Structures are given as C-alpha cells and as structure tokens.
Chain A
Amino acid sequence: MARATETGPVEGRAWRVHGMSVQGYRHAQQGMPCQDAWGTTHTGPPRSRITVLAVADGAGSRPRSQEGAQLAIQLATSVYGARLAEWDRAPRNAEDLRGQLQDAFLEVLDAFLADTRALSGDRSGSSAGRDGPADFATTLTVVVLGTGWLGCTSLGDGFVVLRAGEEDGEPQFHLLPQPESAGEYGNETTFLSSADAALRVGIACVRDDGVDGVVVSTDGLAQAALSGGQGPVLSVNRSFAASVLRSLDRPGPDPRSDARELRALLLSDRLTALNADDKTLVRAVRTTDGPGFGGELP
C-alpha cells in the first residue's frame, strides 16, 4: 500500500510551512520506495528571515534515485541556507537575486556530482557497470522566500504556484515560468546528473509584497494542480491551489487529523488516476499572527 514517507511542520517567523511526500501507486505496486524528497530551512537575521523550500524527484528508472533526491534536498537546504544567511540586505534588483541563485544552484550541482561520484566508488569499488551520478538522477526545485521578494531555481519538471493579489474578492494564483521541456514526452526531463544541467536550470525572481501563499511540487501533482486540456498554455487549477493553501491558512484543531487528510488527498484514487507517480506537496502561507497561530501541523 502507498504510504506517507515524510511529513513535518516548520513554523518560521513569517511563513508557515508544511510538506509531505507520498509513495505513488506504481511504486507501491512494485515494492519500490518513494523517490521524492522535500526539505525546508529558515535562515537570515531575525528581522529579515528567509525561508528555503525544496522538492526533488528521483528518476524512476535509476537504481539510486531515492538517495539522489534526498542528497539534493540536503545540499539545497544547506547551501542555499548558508548563502542566504550571509545576506544582510534584500536583493538590490532581480539581476542581483538571479546571480545569487545561480551561484547557489551551481554550488549544489558541483557538490551533488562530487558526492554521487564518491558514493558510486564507495559502493562498487569500481566504476565498471555503473553510471556514477546518473544512477542518482533527480530533479530539484528550490524556492527562497524573503520579505517582499522570492526567487526560484528549477531544474526538471517540478513547479511552483504563487498566491498573490485578489480580483473580485477572489485570490489569484500564478504559475512561475517552468524550464523548457527536455523532450516531446512528459516523462523526459533534466536531472542534476544531466550533462546540460547548468544550462537548463530555470531561474525566476519576483518582487511582490502581496505573495502570501506558495505551493511547490514535483511533477506527480502537475495534472491535478495545473489545468491542461484547455489549450497548449498551462495555468493553475485554482480549486486545487486554493484548497491546499486554505487548509494551512486555517488549520483545524487536530494537526494530526489535518496531516491525515492531506495524505489521503495525495493518495486518493482521483489523483492517482491522473498520475501514478510519487507525489510531493510543500506549501507555505504567510502568517500574520505569529508562531502558534491555529496550531502546528505534525
């Protein structure tokens, strides 16, 4: 049976964060582990805390992609966290932020390649028959949330949805630009181990005081969270984004029950029918009432 493999709360000063990865139907059928991973960290001085969100999707076809996804998350949270901790000011402009994000991504990429080469050698004693970093293939999407600004680096087919502004009293949702698809088919994407990873990473910078909700996900939720089938341009399925952020805006009295409900959503047949892959959902909402508002999620 499918199960949740990781869940956890983090309450930042300005952002409430909750994430979860669940094993997909196909992996459950085959007794394979969940190859998605997620992570978060908070950094920076108290008055200008920066939150880092990261999701990774290990390639189903590669033997050690679960390790790859977990390594990518570990590296992303530590590298982005350490770099952003040194900031004593908001980015001057988009180019300033873009440069910082690119440097952080390249540091993660270099570390990932070095670590996976080492892991390959450690395990086999020889590289014969092994593909080194390719055996650990994983996508990586990282979002950094500052005060009034955010940035994103995305390699592969993860995606990011923002909630910002209202129209006729209804919150508006926006899909951050995604990197160009790596091929014709939906299961072709770019991994950290891909030769052109450094060139294919997508970087997005947003300056908007109105962003008060963020959803970061691997492609397992793309068909539920994004509206296809209406034309070639993807847009946000607002009912999905609104619902998963609302439950974090207004948590119920029992945090464990809230987490169970989210897990049930991610494991539901309705979502599995759209995509049988592992699923990861990381959501963050801006809090105004300080830590503890509405209780914490487990």
Chain B
Amino acid sequence: MNPAIPGPPTTQPQGLPAAYADIELGNNAQRLPLLLCLDISSSMAGEPIRLLNEALTLWGREIQEDVGLSSSVEIAVVTFGGAGIGVWQGPSLLDPRTTASPFVTAHQFRPPQLTASGVTLLTEAVETGIRLVAARKTELRRSGLQYYRPQICLVTDGLPTDSQGMATDAWRRLVPVLAAEQGAKRFRFYAFGIGGISERGQQVLRELAPKYHATLKGFPFRDLLQTMSASASAEQQGAEEETFEQLFNRFKTQRSAWDS
C-alpha cells in the first residue's frame, strides 16, 4: 500500500445510515492508475510552467471532489527536464533509489511545484512511466485489489533529446514497445503536443501514439487534464473504444476551430 501523503485533510465522504453505521469499509475501490509524463524542459520556462502548475492544482481539487474518482484514480507524475527524469509522489520528488510507488489515490493527491529547465529526455521518461505502471499493477494484484486499464498521458512541447540536449532518434525504440503494450491492453497511451511544438515534434507523437495524439495550441493544461478524468470515468464504465476516440477527437475539433 502507498504511504500516506502529508497534506491538509480532505473532505471525507458522508457517513453511513444509522442502521448500518457498524459497517467497516477500507478503501478497496477498484484502482485506475493514471501516470502523467510531463515535459518541464527549459522551453517550458515562464508562462507555460506557471500554467501547468496552476492546472495541476485546480485539477487535483476537481478530481478529489468527484466521489466516483477520488478513491479510485491513482496519480503519479514523471517529469523530464531539469536534472533528468523526476518521479513524483504527490508533491515529493522521490529518491531515484527508492522502491516506493509514486502512485497516490486522487483524494490524497497534492501536485508538485514544477520548475522548468534542462533537456527533453522524453524517451527515458516514457520508459520510466511504462515501468512504474507495470510495477503498480503487480502491487495491486498482490494486494488483491482490482484495477482498470491504466492511462499514461505524455505532454511535451519539444523534440526528444539526449542528456546533452541534442536531438536524438532514440525515441524510435519506443514505437514497437508502445504498440505491443497497447496491443496487449496493458495501458492506454495519450500524447499531447503543446505550445509551439514543431512539425518534427508532432511527427514523433504521431508515431508514438498513432490513434491518440493531438497538437494543441497554447497550453490548455486544464482541459487536457479534465479529459484524463473523463477518460478515467469512461474506463470505469467499460466504455467501448469509440468513446475514447470521441473524447480525444474533441481536441482535434477544437484545433480546427482555432485554426480556422
């Protein structure tokens, strides 16, 4: 189980009716791991990172208030930029040597305060995300907790680079991995290009996420995160693939409207 994350108390659900007040309930909710894989490289400095931090805070509150999601969705954040790959358990950056899971249930989630700098180690970040999701599923199985198909959401405004900041084709090794993992329904993978992502950057996302990629003008992080909540709700209901496509196509429609 995850350790409790320090933070202000959350609103507890209302109690049980008097006749059933002696029922003891733990949090056995069926879990839905949601991993946010966020670009915080130097190109995100200034307004973009401020908007991202603000959106994470607002979304964190919204998801806590959704009684259907707050005990079910588990959130982890992986960042790429700064000193490399960062794995966050709520607001805390985890020591790379730790074996603790970064996933915290939504009602415990407090967002990290992110700062932008460094290079775009997108490939390594996605690989880290895939590994963390697989590990979390193993933990959940061992705990006897059921779970829904996890979601990984990649958000970037740039091209993948190596640790020296040079553009690299290393991301190509992700393509067959992501295809196989999604073919086996191990998770859903969404890729969003934001800000001024280049055509080449968009092409990377198209290849990584052939069905679920989108390029958004500006930095509509809140809308993007709300879509992750909507996708989580759809997953809980066992929605068909076309429901997820409709959710995602909304972004493409918006983009067309803006473009026009």
Chain A interface (Cβ < 8 Å from any Cβ of B): 25-26, 29, 59-61, 184-188, 222-224, 226-234, 237, 239-240, 243-244, 247, 252, 258, 261-262, 264-265, 268-277
Chain B interface (Cβ < 8 Å from any Cβ of A): 1, 13-20, 22-30, 67-72, 141-149, 185, 233, 235-240, 243
Would A265 and B144 count as touching, CB distance under 8 A?
Answer: no
User: Beyond A228-B28, A229-B145, A264-B17: 14 further Cβ-contacts under 8 Å?
Assistant: A26-B237, A188-B238, A223-B29, A228-B146, A234-B144, A237-B24, A240-B25, A261-B18, A265-B20, A265-B23, A272-B13, A273-B13, A273-B27, A277-B236
* Nearest CB of chain A from residue B156's CB, rounded to whole Å: 28
Residue of A nearest to B29 (CB): A274
Would B17 and A265 count as touching, CB distance under 8 A?
Answer: yes
Collect the chain A residues with CB atoms within 8 Å of residue B243's CB.
Answer: 61
Collect the chain A residues with CB atoms within 8 Å of residue B14's CB.
Answer: 268-270
Q: A261-B20, A276-B236 are in contact. Are A186 and B148 (CB under 8 A)?
A: yes
Would B237 and A274 count as touching, CB distance under 8 A?
Answer: no
Would B142 and A243 count as touching, CB distance under 8 A?
Answer: no
* Nearest CB of chain B from residue A238's CB, rounded to whole Å: 9
* Nearest CB of chain B from residue A229's CB, rounded to whole Å: 5
Collect the chain A residues with CB atoms within 8 Å of residue B15's CB.
Answer: 268, 270
Collect the chain B residues with CB atoms within 8 Å of residue A240's CB.
Answer: 23-25
Would A231 and B144 count as touching, CB distance under 8 A?
Answer: yes
Collect the chain A residues with CB atoms within 8 Å of residue B28's CB.
Answer: 223-224, 226-229, 274
Q: A60-B239, A227-B26, A229-B27 are in contact. Are A270 and B13 (CB under 8 A)?
A: yes
Residue of A nearest to B70 (CB): A273
Collect the chain B residues with CB atoms within 8 Å of residue A274's CB.
Answer: 25, 27-29, 71
* Nearest CB of chain B from residue A294's CB, rounded to whole Å: 14
Would A231 and B13 count as touching, CB distance under 8 A?
Answer: no
Q: Which of B14, B29, B233 has most chain A Cβ within 10 Å? A: B29
Question: Which of B20, B67, B144, B238 makes the CB contact (< 8 A) with A229?
Answer: B144
Across chains A and B, which 9 residue pairs bring their CB atoms closest together, nearest first? Answer: A276-B68, A186-B146, A269-B13, A60-B237, A187-B238, A223-B28, A273-B71, A264-B17, A228-B28
Would B24 and A239 count as touching, CB distance under 8 A?
Answer: yes
Collect the chain A residues with CB atoms within 8 Å of residue B18's CB.
Answer: 261
Collect the chain B residues with CB atoms within 8 Å of residue A261's CB.
Answer: 17-20
Q: A186-B30, A265-B20 are in contact. Are A224 and B236 (CB under 8 A)?
A: no
Collect the chain B residues with CB atoms within 8 Å of residue A273's CB.
Answer: 13, 27, 29, 67-68, 70-72
